[in-house]
A and B are shown apart, each in its own frame.
Chain A
Amino acid sequence: MATTPTTPPPAPKTNRIGLAVLDYKGGRTTLCAGCGHNAISERIIDAMFEMGVTPERVVKMSGIGCSSKSPAYFMSRSHSFNSVHGRMPSVTTGAVLANRDLMALGVSGDGDSASIGIGQFVHLMRRNLPMIYIIEDNGVYGLTKGQFSATADVGSKLKTGVINDLPPIDTCAMAIELGATFVARSFSGDKKQLHAMLKAAISHKGTVLLDVISPCVTFNDHDGSTKSYKYMKDHEEPLQDINFVPHFEEIDVDYDAGTTLEVTMHDGSRLRLHKLEAGYDPTNRIEAITRLHDAHEKGEVLTGVFYVNPKAPSFIDLLNMTDQPLATLPDSVVRPGREALEQCMEELR
């Protein structure tokens, strides 16, 4: 041991499991400079780091599209599966069935989820599978150079001048209707809100749907687009001011129960929603759906936690599976003994 006091180089800040933020980094992004998706990747890294999630426990799942490439750009220490277009939900379901200890983080896009993948999206929401499902929503197909997707608003204009005249699918309203138990919308440019939402999502046990408006700087950031940075700045209407207190943090500050709703998450963390809109109750599904419909009529882009129910049973609970991951059950458990076969044969004689 050194006896002379020296100034050690500042140790990198570590989280509660002793990892530095660098341990959550991914490969260099190949998406366009300024793409909203990159900001979302950054928020994921920060939230996972701050929550002290073991990277090896996480599986990053995706379909096809710009959004679905982004799992390569965060958390390289996590397994990842970039599957086929619109089918990430089923692949994720299989992975979670095989190993219930995994934390599944799906990254999809508006085309991948609301068009080709709407069937799997719908059924995933019904099952309340424990996973975080992020839609990086920009209203266009980026990789195929800017065609409208099914979340594009009526009247929204492409760079080519084409106007969208079909109504958009609101993935959040759908998710609430179908049974997802944590449904929120944010904006890739709203660092604080998205950060708090992601941390709450990590604490939730059930399906989290996070629709994040994430402007496409190349194909949908012009005047006339309703998914541009400028449009979002002008039209974003946050429902709440969101704070998140993780279960492992002792520090607490008082809050005004009259203006703030506190939701205790599955792991004991607390989600605090400071109401910017009097009377909104995010535990009421019907109210949530009505409010989303209102927002469309008013031309607002409503953001915030629309609905949360930390108590609903997840798909894993319903299947009554053994606590140990199915993937690693020993042979002696998965292959019944000789007497079991003999019994089956006897019944068939």
Chain B
Amino acid sequence: MSTIDVALNDAAGRTGHQPIVNDMSLQVATVNGSGSQSSNTVLLRSIFQMGVPVSGKNLFPSNIAGLPTWYTIRANKDGYIARKKEIDFLVAMNAETAQDDVKSLAAGASVLYDEPLNLSALRSDLIFYAVPYDKIVATVCPEAKLRKLVKNMIYVGVVAKLLDIDMGEVEKAIRKQFATKVKAANLNLAAAKAGFDYAVANLTKQDPFHITRMEKTQGKIIIDGNSAAALGCMFAGVTVVTWYPITPSSSLVETLIDYMKEHRVGPDGKATFAIVQAEDELAAIGMVIGAGWAGARSMTATAGPGISLMAEFAGLAYYAEVPGVIWDIQRVGPSTGLPTRTSQGDILSTAFLSHGDTKNILLIPSSVSECFSMATDAFNLAEQFQTLVFVMSDLDLGMNNWMSDPFDYPETPINRGKVLNKADLEKAGTFARYKDVDGDGVGYRTLPGTEHPAAAYFTRGSGHNERSQYSERPDDFERNMERINRKFETARSCVPRPEVVSTGKSKIGIIAYGTSHWAIVESRDQLHKEYKVETDYLRLRAYPFTREVHEFIEKHDRVYVVEQNRDAQMLSMLKLDIKAELTPRLRAVSHIHGLPLDARSVTDEIMTMEGK
């Protein structure tokens, strides 16, 4: 380890003489099903309301109640919102994990613990605060059965006191959290106040951490990626939604149902959409394809296991040329894997999903605002190219809360693609479904129900000619497959372009995508400040790769491709696309632990490969 690294770790060891303002990570260790999620959201919102950039990461088990869960809040004045590796302040509420949690802390960290856990004897290099939660909760919550849920709000008050979080903001956040449930809000507020009062009377501040008002979150919103995607789909004009519940995608459709009921029911009380919970992912994508074929903007949301099940149908949509949008909220595979942990492990298999030669368009959002805006892109591209478009989100983006600027109203018009209506057919007399009339590979289609004797065509996954007639002729098959490939080449210049940050001087490039972005932003600053290593950065936003991706690799001697999977999946796809002599430039930086990527790990790994 370098000296600088040691110095940084040592920051946690500062003993309170020098205050650390708006730069800390706080972890709450609880059991799931104990109402801690409300407490943590209140804490996150309170800091956010004080204008301090903040992020929240929920590390939860695949279980309903009773297993350990950790929630990490990072407040950072510079706006770094990636996961921070080190925990500065632990709120230990879970007897089962408390000892391990305390043992894993760096020296100098603070621990706020439930008094009976008796943790202070474990280490002498930490700061300990003990709180008798059960005694306090009995005074504010007469109903014994509610105590378990209210108990967690007490630590919010204690933390508020210790870190100088304004209780007015805590109250505001509690009122927002419990919205219309006034009784619950009052009860929780009393609990938070009791915690605050206890800290005032009994605890002496020893740690260096403070939250102080800033102006960096004004006008911003807090939202999770799945909700942002749901909003995006609604404003993209989705009409048919099918789904099969699977973590971490379920909340996307559940939120969409709520939004659609509010904003997409006509004055006559009738829905301008259909949302159907299917019997499995096979049926979900089958319905998407049937609806897309018949002219709806159709979508489903799933995760890796669902993507695997959809493979056969994906090939049908590719070859029969049917539009549809699939959201893949990636979680850790293979197999059931870690269903509640994040990953970028479906990239390669989704890009080439299905047997035979298939290639699918992927869009890759990094932020909640891209979850929103890429929804419109996805539906437009799907209909423009008459194919499936996969939006590759992940659990970290989809299920965690992120702050963001408010979303811009989509200015992109709804593009329904090449569809011939009755009037078009009257003019043309006839049409050939799979003929490349315009040279872009995309044929014209008609929708079932078009009232013209020449409108109908036969859609099939078996071999067909330009007129969509059954054909086993080698030349028909080859011509058709080449045309479909032409569509993919056309799509290269229509998909979202990468975001490139370049000084034009650096020899080192970094390529990343999705949620890795937030660690890269911070890691590049670390490389610059700590090692004087300058890097250029390209953030991929889509597959197929656009021209800029090739140019970026050509301009750099070494290109670190950072991804959250074992097998360097995106790097492998880049290798297929770039000139053979450029492939040795690509270097894999891979992470597969299922936790959101942190900057320090990236920095360390790049420096190791740089030989420093």
Contacts and interface: CB of A to CB of B under 8 A. Distances in A.
B239 A323 contact: no
A56 B313 contact: no
A335 B410 contact: yes
B160 interface: no
Nearest to B464: A82
Contact of A84 (B279, B295, B316, B457): B316
Contacts of B446: 79
**A78, A79, A329: which has the most chain B beta carbons within 10 Å?**
A79
Interface stretch (B19-27, B81-89, B258-266, B483-491): B258-266
Given A56-B450, A348-B222, A123 B279 contact: yes
Interface stretch (B139-147, B190-198, B282-290): B282-290
Interface string A136-155: 00000000000000000000
Nearest to A334: B237
Interface stretch (B5-13, B270-278, B519-527, B596-604): B270-278
B288 to A, nearest CB: 6
Interface residues of B, number: 73
Interface in B277-317: 278-280, 282-298, 312-313, 316
A102 interface: yes
A341 B297 CA distance: 20
A137 to B, nearest CB: 22
B286 A327 contact: no
Contacts of B286: 83-84, 87, 89-91, 93-94, 120
Contacts, number: 220
A290 interface: no
B459 interface: yes
Contacts of B457: 79-80
A345 interface: yes
A88 to B, nearest CB: 8
The interface centre, meaning the residue of A55, A336, A338 with most chain B CB atoms within 10 A of its CB, is A336
B456 A326 contact: no
Contact of A320 (B242, B271, B448): B271
A93 B287 contact: yes
A83 B430 CA distance: 24
B284 to A, nearest CB: 8
B290 A120 contact: no
Nearest to A117: B282
B223 interface: yes
A335 B259 CA distance: 12
Which of B274, B409, B451, B453 is the most central at the interface, judged by chain A CB atoms within 10 Å of its CB?
B274
Contacts of B579: none
Contacts of B239: 98, 326-327, 329, 334
Contacts of A331: 237, 413-414
Nearest to B273: A326
B274 A97 contact: yes
Interface string A305-349: 000000000000001111101111101011110101100110011
A87 B313 contact: yes
Nearest to A69: B470
B168 to A, nearest CB: 16
Nearest to B275: A319
A154 B593 CA distance: 53
A81 B464 CA distance: 13
B449 A94 contact: no
A349 B240 CA distance: 29
Contacts of A91: 286-287, 289-290, 293
Contacts of B297: 334
A95 B456 contact: no
A54 interface: yes
Contacts of B293: 81, 91, 94-95, 98
B560 to A, nearest CB: 35
Given A95-B291, A98-B294, A99-B449, A326 B272 contact: yes
A122 B266 CA distance: 33
Nearest to B376: A335
Contacts of A319: 271, 274, 276
Given A56-B456, A82-B459, A326-B240, A341 B274 contact: no
Interface in B232-263: 234-240, 242, 259, 263
Most chain B CB neighbours (cut-off 10 Å) among A91, A93, A94, A344: A94
Given A93-B290, A94-B242, A98-B240, A345 B221 contact: yes
Interface of A: 23, 54-57, 59, 61, 71-72, 76-84, 87, 89-99, 101-102, 119-120, 122-123, 319-323, 325-329, 331, 333-336, 338, 340-341, 344-345, 348-349
